[in-house]
């Protein structure tokens, strides 16, 4: 904490209560949640209005609690800490040390934007959720609070840190988001949503599945009555069309959800904070202090690589948060042109050397092992196929060993690491690639390990452990190193990490 100095400019005192419209926002949230089930119940089970009334009585305690919270809530920013008080009967007072604050994010749903208010969440490294949530404040007050909290953290940001305008590092346009949505792998979530909808429908309309199956069976019966021979073909065709329809629907949903979630994405640098602002309906603004970034990952899936795109993810010491994926907080940049990433890195890691790293390859014996493994698998498959079909043509599969070997060589070319100037780089992957950048000061532990097969070939694997691994896919690791190289690299990394101070 900087000692108070008569000449220094002290931030104006920031204190206050929740915005008067808090209760209105709360009421709307509750109403939204009960409205749809209420309508559905009223529509399908008209006789159950009594149940509905009883159910709504349960909402009263929630309203009472919200009113109490609104009336009693007080916050203020003292030197070095944020103090939040609430409650009448059970009073809680929470002190959050400003220098432990990892992130301060602002969230605005559609209603918030109409009313000119926002929700503020203050996050530290401890715990899974926000240390303090202020719902709701006026936008001006929220911004003032953000400045006070982030600006008052006591690090030497310089006197004019607040006066500088934030520097925009990257913008993600609609076209890139469109491509990103098309190449995203969120198909699984679509099925989850569909499953949820079906399950809910089952609750409301009993025997939904049986009724649907019977209806479908009857329709199929009618439709195929006149075409007995082509029943199988028709069924297959229908099935294929359905599958195709599902894939298309999934793609459309994926694109739309990306566009809505990340609309107008802007990554800017304000002092030491990386600020992400995005969202079409719900506008979100999230701050991440640069020095809290533990490791950066640049991921290029095969589909994205074809378009020259990549995703950039950063882990902070706060670790994984709930709903990070659905709120878009698991990415630093949801989609970006790959060639622009290099220019972006020095803004995230100010000490990063300007020159690109000199990559070291791993052991070429890895190629031999990969080829042998592929050959064994292919031999097994060929033998199985030959036995199943009873013809020697199954052995033709063995010819795939050649492309497998080529693939192994390409994979080997892309597997590499670089250590220098306080940073460790690792990269791997041929079709879909991932590159990790770790400042050595963030290394918590280094592990080398070998399987019996590794030992036979004199190879070893190395894994670097950092704090808060959540979104970067398991941390930097290098496989297929020469055993001696692995030992030396681990030793060097651990020693250098020990010399460097781990910044909070």
In angstroms, give the least distance from the CB of 423 to other proteins: 13
Binds other proteins (CB under 8 A): choice among 357, 415, 466, 478: 466
| Piece of 41-49, 112-120, 143-151, 460-468 that binds other proteins (CB under 8 A) | 460-468
CA distances from 211 to 71, 198, 215, 223, 270 (A): 52, 13, 6, 18, 59
Residue 415 contacts other proteins per CB under 8 A: no
Residue 97 contacts other proteins per CB under 8 A: no
Q: Which of 328, 399, 363 is nearest to 480 (CA)?
A: 363
Residue 263 contacts other proteins per CB under 8 A: no
**Residue closer to other proteins, measured from CB, 230 or 451:** 451
Per CB under 8 A, contacts with other proteins among 137-166 are: none
| Piece of 140-148, 153-161, 186-194, 440-448 that binds other proteins (CB under 8 A) | 440-448
Per CB under 8 A, contacts with other proteins among 360-399 are: 360
**Residue closer to other proteins, measured from CB, 203 or 491:** 491
Residues 6+ apart with CB under 8 A from 101: 82, 122, 123, 124, 131, 149, 150, 153
In angstroms, give the least distance from the CB of 103 to other proteins: 14
User: Is the distance from CB of 156 to CB of 8 less than 8 angstroms?
Assistant: no
At 165 the three-state DSSP class reads coil
In angstroms, give the least distance from the CB of 490 to other proteins: 5
Residue 490 contacts other proteins per CB under 8 A: yes
Residue 224 contacts other proteins per CB under 8 A: no
Q: 10 Å Cβ neighbour count for 54?
A: 10
Sign of CA dihedral 451, 454, 458, 463: negative
Q: Rounded distance, CA 160 to CA 151, Å? A: 11
Binds other proteins (CB under 8 A): choice among 56, 185, 389, 451: 451
Structure tokens at 318: 């706060």
Q: Rounded distance, CA 259 to CA 175, Å? A: 9
Q: Where do we find the tokens 């809530």?
A: 73
Per CB under 8 A, contacts with other proteins among 318-357 are: 319
Residue 127 contacts other proteins per CB under 8 A: no
Q: Rounded distance, CA 11 to CA 147, Å? A: 9
Question: CA 30 from chain center: how many Å?
Answer: 27
Quote the DSSP letter at residue 321: -
Binds other proteins (CB under 8 A): choice among 181, 334, 416, 468: 468
**Residue closer to other proteins, measured from CB, 371 or 466:** 466
Binds other proteins (CB under 8 A): choice among 420, 431, 456, 458: 420
| Piece of 251-259, 262-270, 345-353, 462-470 that binds other proteins (CB under 8 A) | 462-470
Binds other proteins (CB under 8 A): choice among 446, 457, 459, 478: 446
Helix axes 187-204, 208-224, angle to 10 degrees: 100
User: Is the distance from CB of 145 to CB of 14 less than 8 angstroms?
Assistant: yes
In angstroms, give the least distance from the CB of 460 to other proteins: 9
User: Is the distance from CB of 161 to CB of 276 less than 8 angstroms?
Assistant: no
User: Is the distance from CB of 87 to CB of 69 less than 8 angstroms?
Assistant: yes
**Residue closer to other proteins, measured from CB, 112 or 461:** 461
Q: Rounded distance, CA 400 to CA 375, Å? A: 8
Residues in contact with other proteins, shown as a per-residue x/- string from 282 to 321 under the rule CB under 8 A: -----------------------------------x-x--
| Site residues, other proteins (CB under 8 A) | 125, 317, 319, 360, 419-420, 443-452, 455, 463, 465-469, 475, 485, 487-495, 497-499, 501-502, 504
């Amino acid at each position: 904490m900087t000692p108070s100095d008569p000449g220094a400019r002290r931030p104006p005192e920031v204190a206050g209560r929740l915005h008067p419209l808090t209760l209105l926002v709360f009421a709307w949230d509750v109403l939204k949640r009960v409205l749809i089930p209420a309508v559905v119940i009223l529509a399908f089970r008209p006789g159950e209005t009594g149940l509905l009334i009883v159910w709504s009585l349960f909402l009263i305690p929630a309203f009472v609690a919200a009113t109490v919270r609104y009336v009693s809530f007080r916050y203020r920013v003292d030197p070095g800490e944020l103090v939040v008080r609430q409650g009448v009967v059970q009073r809680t007072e929470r002190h959050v040390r400003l220098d432990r604050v990892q992130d301060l994010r602002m969230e605005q749903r559609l209603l918030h934007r109409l009313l000119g208010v926002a929700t503020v969440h203050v996050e530290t490294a401890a715990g899974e959720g926000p240390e303090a949530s202020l719902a709701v404040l006026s936008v001006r007050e929220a911004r003032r609070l953000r400045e006070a909290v982030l600006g008052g953290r006591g690090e030497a940001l310089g006197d004019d840190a607040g006066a500088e305008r934030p520097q925009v590092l990257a913008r993600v346009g609609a076209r890139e988001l469109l491509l990103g949505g098309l190449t995203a792998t969120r198909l699984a979530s679509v099925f989850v949503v569909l499953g949820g909808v079906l399950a809910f429908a089952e609750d409301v309309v009993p025997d939904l599945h049986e009724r649907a199956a019977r209806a479908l069976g009857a329709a199929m019966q009618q439709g195929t009555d006149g075409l007995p021979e082509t029943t199988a073909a028709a069924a297959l065709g229908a099935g294929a069309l359905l599958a195709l329809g599902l894939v298309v629907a999934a793609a459309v949903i994926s694109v739309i959800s990306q566009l809505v979630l990340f609309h107008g994405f802007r990554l800017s640098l304000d002092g030491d904070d990386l600020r992400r602002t995005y969202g079409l309906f719900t506008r979100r603004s999230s701050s991440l202090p640069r020095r809290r970034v533990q490791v950066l990952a640049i991921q290029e899936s095969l589909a994205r690589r074809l378009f020259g795109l990549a995703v950039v993810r950063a882990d902070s010491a706060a670790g994984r948060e709930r709903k990070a994926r659905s709120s878009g907080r698991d990415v630093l940049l949801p989609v970006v042109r790959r060639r622009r990433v290099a220019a972006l890195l020095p803004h995230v890691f100010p000490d990063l050397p300007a020159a690109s790293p000199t990559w070291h390859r791993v052991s070429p014996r890895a190629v031999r092992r990969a080829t042998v493994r592929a050959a064994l698998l292919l031999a097994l498959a060929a033998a199985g196929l030959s036995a199943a079909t009873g013809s020697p043509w199954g052995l033709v599969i063995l010819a795939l060993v050649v492309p497998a070997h080529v693939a192994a060589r390409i994979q080997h070319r892309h597997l590499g690491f670089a250590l220098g100037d306080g940073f460790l780089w690792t990269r791997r992957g041929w079709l879909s690639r991932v590159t990790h950048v770790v400042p050595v000061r963030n290394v918590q532990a280094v592990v080398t390990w070998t399987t019996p097969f590794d030992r036979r070939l004199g190879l070893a694997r190395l894994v670097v452990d950092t704090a808060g691994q959540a979104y970067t896919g398991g941390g930097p690791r290098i496989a297929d190193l020469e055993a001696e190289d692995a030992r030396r690299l681990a030793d060097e990394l651990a020693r250098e990490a020990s010399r460097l101070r781990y910044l909070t």
